[in-house]
Structure 1
Amino acid sequence: MADPSTYRPAPGTIPTDPGVYRFRDGTGRVLYVGKAKNLRNRLNSYFADITGLQPRTRNMVTTATGVEWTVVGTEVEALQLEYNWIKEFDPPFNVRYRDDKSYPVLAVTLNEELPRLFVYRGPRRKGVRYFGPYSHAWAIRETLDLLLRVFPARTCSTGVLRRHQQLGRPCLLGYIDKCSAPCTGAVSADEHRRIVEAFCDFLAGRTDRLVRQLEQEMRAAAEELDFEKAARLRDDVGALRRALEKQAVVLGDGTDADVIAFAHDDLEIAVQVFHVRDGRVRGQRGWVNERVEDASEPEIVEEFLTQFYGEQRALAQAAPDPQAATAGAIPKLVLVPSMPPDPESMEHWLAEQRGSGVTVRVPQRGDKRALAETVQRNAAESLAQHKLKRAGDLTARSAALQELQEVLDLDSAPLRIECVDISHVQGTDVVGSLVVFEDGIPRKSDSRHFAIKEAAGDGRSDDVASIAEVTRRRFARHAADQSPSDAAQTSENGDDGGNGGAVPGIDPATGRPRRFAYPPNLYIVDGGAPQVNAAATVLDELGVTDVAVIGLAKRLEEVWLPDDPYPAILSRGSDALFLLQRVRDEAHRFAIAFHRSKRSRRMTASALDAIPGLGNARKTALVTRFGSVARLRAASVEEITGVPGIGGTIARAVHEALNAENPAQDSPRAAPVE
């Protein structure tokens, strides 16, 4: 591991101009490529305090042995050079926004004498036109099946085409009028190409003209009493309309746009892109990438737009008409959740890629805002499904437990993990939560809440003391549940059911293990060294020696061990760190939920304390019925009277007391103060 100070540039040698920089390792391999408006400020941030860097960034600067830079004239040039270098060197520490799967597209082989329509995955080829991408291959086949009755183009492979050319008779699709059978000469190559070109025009969005043309031909056939042709054209128009219905209009003004959204946590980032053409969603794609740096959302947007549309332009160059393909791949409007740091430079760079103007903006209202919210929900769902799939993978869970055993030097894999978290608001309503995971899966029946007593007594926040209190109470319960005194008493009374005496840890009433009878293999606290040391001290006082204690600090996801001055750093993509984060996040969620409910009950009860004739039972009934003071204040006397135990006199007293606290709420104009 290299010391960054050994290759740090001398002070004053780094220019303050915009540019692009590269970190290299000892073999000369490019590890990371970045750009900056001010090279000196950006590069100095890598060397000032490496302990403050993200773990992956810290790993990069300690792996590198040198840094170099290139000064450019403008931010636009920096964007282009950064993209070119990332594409050329493929640096391992750069986030590459690539699909996590190959999306299917509808390919049209215009470079063949008899063009073919088929579902395709893979790299783009010259002379082939592509439509999509689509989420699923079945969506392409379903649409293609509808359109083949109107555009009976060839869909068979080259081998099938040659075989039927030799046989002189069409395949099944030719007999059912879903192929014009160019293999048998039923139509000429030029006629078949015109069919394929009409198909391409329809998928490219020129639909209204084609539908009107078919309707005119249908009416003309009916006037000529050719009802068979008119019926066939009527069915063709119906098939086209059904195909259009599958692509609902999301932007009423017929806009061409890409709508982009992100969802991310400390480790990963999910991207969703909806491709809208002529107001309809023509394609969708999404993927999940590992998050490298703690970048802001505007920086994420800039990085993604540079990589994504750079790749789109490169793919479009293989099309028969590169200029038209590029214009189709990069729309005039790009909707993003946040504007990039330098929107003018980004729009200028995108315009250079497209060949005409591009606007980048954040939707504020109307259909575009509604669509952006839909894309955002898809991104969040994609990230959640990704994590759920990973958490539900038995192999991944086993690997995580095994890795934890090795990293923490445990005697066995931590099959039972418990985690403690503290929640409060400026030292008030301090609560703790304890969640349990067994075999990497939450055991929610064993989760517990703790109302903090000792640490919250002085009205101030003290997470260290709160952690110590929860740990003491939890393992005191463990000692009590392990005690055989209750079972021994049961045995003396002759009620042991023939079990032969007391059984430690077993509830004699139910015959089941007590919930705190089993200690965890691994005890996690949410925090750093002070919290870990506090929990370890309590365990030492209680004589608990078979429980490993660690802390997970949120800022850098560091794993702290008791009395260790330096934390352990797990790989950002490791299954072990993912499991620890999942346990910690569940404890955090559980603590916040309890804290909110406790605060709500306290606020409600305090507002009702001053009402005469309202005891604890009636206050509890009101809180249970309405849930909050605001809802109770808005309720009528009749609604309050409907609560069991609340009569008309009490109901009127409650209504008058609560509304007297806020007279302006009942009247649009409050009475003047005299």
Structure 2
Amino acid sequence: RSCSSANFTRAQRSKRQCLLGDIGKCAAPCVDWISKEDHKKLAERLNEFMESGMENILPKLHEEMNTAAANEEFERAARLRDQIESFEKAQKSTEGNFSDDLDGDFISIYHDGFHAAGSIFSMQRGSVKGSRSWIVDQEMVLEGQDELTALLYSIYGTGAIAVPRNIYINAEPAEKEQLEQWLGGLGSTKVEIKVPQRGEKVELLDTVKRNAQYSLIQYLSKRATDAAVSGKALTEIEEHLNLGRTPLRIECFDISNISGTSVVASMVVFEDGMIKKSEYRRFIIDTSDGFDDTRAMHQVITRRLKRLLDDRKENEAEVAEFGGKPSKFAYPPQLIVVDGGQPQVNAAQRALDELGITDIALCGLAKRLEEVWVPGSKDPLILPRSSEGLYLLQRIRDEAHRFAVSFHRELRGKRMTKSVLDDIPGLGEARRTRLLKELGGVTAVKRATEEELKALPWLPDSVGQAVWDKIHVPSRRDSR
């Protein structure tokens, strides 16, 4: 049975089986649907199945089914027949294309740079007998263990999973010999940890790693949407940064550029720990005085806060006269996060000071070591790697970076097109889009001849000539 002792006792007292009993997924010993002796046999059969698979079980089931049929116990014979079919179906689904001599536990670990998960497939005679996934405890890693060692302790340390003779993993652990001795002591047999280099074992480990990746994605998705987790994260941020109030609205800023060109900035907003995409903003940075990352950060923070102060004044006047609520952009954040370390934080703080704003907290998150910088501090704050607060700050920073990079790419693409096809008389947005689509992009337009452009029935000859002239003017000058 799979129920708790409390549920079992409750069913005994009420003389009413649970849903699993109703649908035939439990033998329901709680209401005496099965005798103690038969239930014991059922448990022994399950143990035998887990240890040796179906090799010994199927013949016994066939024998019992034939005996029941001979004794005209047709209902029991039908149930045994269904069990045999279920066992055979399960056997086929776990056999895959692996060799019959494939035995042992296959363990892979997947990490995304900040978090890690591991999975295990227990193999017996080429079939998967069980699988499970774990989220690796980053606290253990910080205490000196590598991730694989921490995962192996999580898997086998509780004694819930039997230790096989062979353990196959996708990377060498730091203390392989000590681990083998420890595992051997748990299972009272010699254990070998192996790292396959080729063949079906490597293919199986790749499958296990994908399973670990999927488990990590599920885990992080749940954390991102769990209101209780978000509340805990905000409380941790408040405590670690000594804010004095919960940062219900957090704005994060990031700068994106390539060699100081097409410099843009992004602002993303999280409210109550959740993404608020309707409040996102994008900024084009003025680089007429040259580019500097801290200068760009100072500029975007200044522009945002000036807008905040202006909107706040306008909204105060409107609310006083007409009532209602202020506009969203006039809501001040309780915390501003910048992507970067001490230089970026100092630049942002300078913008706050120049505008006389003292009621908005500030911090920066540096990528390399995930250090949290606050104004006026010579040393960064180091939040525990398992901290929900750190994870939320990482999510906000990564989202700001993604938004900035996407805007930068969009702007760069528009400028590439603009440099060739903009400001051509008669070539408006609709014609320009159709021209690029039919010819296959800017490069194809450049390669087109005058005749090819004029041959387009929907494009006037004069416009086609203007396009060709605009594209080929530089080459004519160069040829002189």
TM-score (norm 1): 0.52
**1:581 positional shift:** 2.9
1:503-582 superposed matches below 5 A: 503=318, 513-582=326-395
Name the residue aligned to 1:469.
299
The correspondence for 1:285, drawn from 132, 155, 161, is 132
Give the direction of change, closer, same or farther, for the CA distance of 1:477–1:239 in structure 2 (3 Å limit). Answer: same
SS of 2:380's equivalent in the other structure is coil
Name the residue aligned to 2:274.
441
Q: Deviations over 1:114-145 (max 9, x none)?
A: xxxx44889xxxxxxxxxxxxxxx99989994
Tell me if the contact between 2:118 and 2:209 (Cα under 8 Å) persists in the aligned partners.
no
Tell me if the contact between 1:417 and 1:523 (Cα under 8 Å) persists in the aligned partners.
yes
Q: Deviations over 1:537-582 (max 9, x none)?
A: 2233333333222222233333323333233444444444343333
Q: Distance in 2 between matches of 1:536 and 1:482?
A: 20
Tell me if the contact between 1:256 and 1:279 (Cα under 8 Å) persists in the aligned partners.
yes
1:160-199 superposed matches below 5 A: 171-173=32-34, 197-199=44-46
Q: Distance in 2 between matches of 1:505 and 1:430?
A: 39
Give the direction of change, closer, same or farther, for the CA distance of 1:211–1:372 in structure 2 (3 Å limit). Answer: same
> What amino acid sits opposite 1:330 in the alignment?
P
> What amino acid sits opposite 2:196 in the alignment?
R
Q: Deviations over 1:79-125 (max 9, x none)?
A: xxxxxxxxxxxxxxxxxxxxxxxxxxxxxxxxxxxxxxx44889xxx
What is the count of residue pairs matched by the alignment?
439
SS of 2:157's equivalent in the other structure is helix
Q: Distance in 1 between matches of 2:284 and 2:425?
A: 29
Q: Distance in 1 between matches of 2:440 and 2:104?
A: 44
**1:445 positional shift:** 0.8
**1:535 positional shift:** 1.2
RMSD (CA atoms): 5.2
**1:435 positional shift:** 1.1
Q: Distance in 2 between matches of 1:421 and 1:628?
A: 31
Q: Distance in 1 between matches of 2:461 and 2:214?
A: 50
**1:207 positional shift:** 1.4
The answer on 1:334 being equivalent to 2:168 is yes
Tell me if the contact between 1:532 and 1:560 (Cα under 8 Å) persists in the aligned partners.
yes
Name the residue aligned to 1:368.
204
SS of 2:369's equivalent in the other structure is coil
> What amino acid sits opposite 1:285 in the alignment?
R
Name the residue aligned to 2:248.
415
Give the direction of change, closer, same or farther, for the CA distance of 1:303–1:469 in structure 2 (3 Å limit). Answer: same
SS of 2:359's equivalent in the other structure is coil
Q: Distance in 2 between matches of 1:558 and 1:470?
A: 22
Name the residue aligned to 1:586.
399
Q: Distance in 2 between matches of 1:590 and 1:356?
A: 49
Q: Distance in 2 between matches of 1:477 and 1:607?
A: 35
**1:504 positional shift:** 6.5
Q: Distance in 2 between matches of 1:363 and 1:357?
A: 18
Structure 1 unaligned residues grouped into runs of 5+: 1-117, 123-137, 149-154, 161-170, 183-191, 317-325, 488-500, 634-642, 655-674
SS of 1:479's equivalent in the other structure is helix
Give the direction of change, closer, same or farther, for the CA distance of 1:361–1:232 in structure 2 (3 Å limit). Answer: same
SS of 1:552's equivalent in the other structure is strand
Q: Distance in 2 between matches of 1:524 and 1:432?
A: 13
The correspondence for 2:107, drawn from 255, 260, 263, is 260
1:374-393 superposed matches below 5 A: 374-388=210-224, 391-393=226-228
Stretch of structure 1 that moved more, 226-235 or 437-446: 226-235
Identical-residue share of aligned pairs (%):
34
SS of 1:355's equivalent in the other structure is coil
SS of 2:122's equivalent in the other structure is strand
The correspondence for 2:263, drawn from 409, 430, 444, is 430
> What amino acid sits opposite 1:379 in the alignment?
S
Q: Distance in 1 between matches of 2:390 and 2:232?
A: 11
> What amino acid sits opposite 1:447 in the alignment?
Y
The answer on 1:249 being equivalent to 2:62 is no
Give the direction of change, closer, same or farther, for the CA distance of 1:403–1:347 in structure 2 (3 Å limit). Answer: closer
Tell me if the contact between 1:419 and 1:435 (Cα under 8 Å) persists in the aligned partners.
yes
**1:465 positional shift:** 1.8
1:207-226 superposed matches below 5 A: 207-212=54-59, 215=62, 226=70
Name the residue aligned to 1:115.
none
**1:200 positional shift:** 3.4
Give the direction of change, closer, same or farther, for the CA distance of 1:333–1:562 in structure 2 (3 Å limit). Answer: closer
Q: Distance in 2 between matches of 1:557 and 1:424?
A: 22
Tell me if the contact between 2:167 and 2:191 (Cα under 8 Å) persists in the aligned partners.
no
> What amino acid sits opposite 2:273 in the alignment?
G
Q: Distance in 1 between matches of 2:462 and 2:45?
A: 79
**1:430 positional shift:** 2.8
Tell me if the contact between 2:282 and 2:404 (Cα under 8 Å) persists in the aligned partners.
yes
**1:386 positional shift:** 4.8
Structure 2 unaligned residues grouped into runs of 5+: 6-17, 447-455, 468-480
Name the residue aligned to 1:239.
83
Tell me if the contact between 1:251 and 1:367 (Cα under 8 Å) persists in the aligned partners.
no
Tell me if the contact between 1:454 and 1:469 (Cα under 8 Å) persists in the aligned partners.
no
SS of 2:34's equivalent in the other structure is helix
Name the residue aligned to 2:51.
204
**1:382 positional shift:** 3.9
The answer on 1:359 being equivalent to 2:203 is no
Tell me if the contact between 1:219 and 1:230 (Cα under 8 Å) persists in the aligned partners.
no
Q: Deviations over 1:468-506 (max 9, x none)?
A: 12112212322332353xx9xxxxxxxxxxxxx941699
Tell me if the contact between 1:272 and 1:376 (Cα under 8 Å) persists in the aligned partners.
yes
SS of 2:365's equivalent in the other structure is strand
Q: Which has the higher helix share?
A: 2
Tell me if the contact between 2:298 and 2:351 (Cα under 8 Å) persists in the aligned partners.
yes
The answer on 1:311 being equivalent to 2:157 is yes
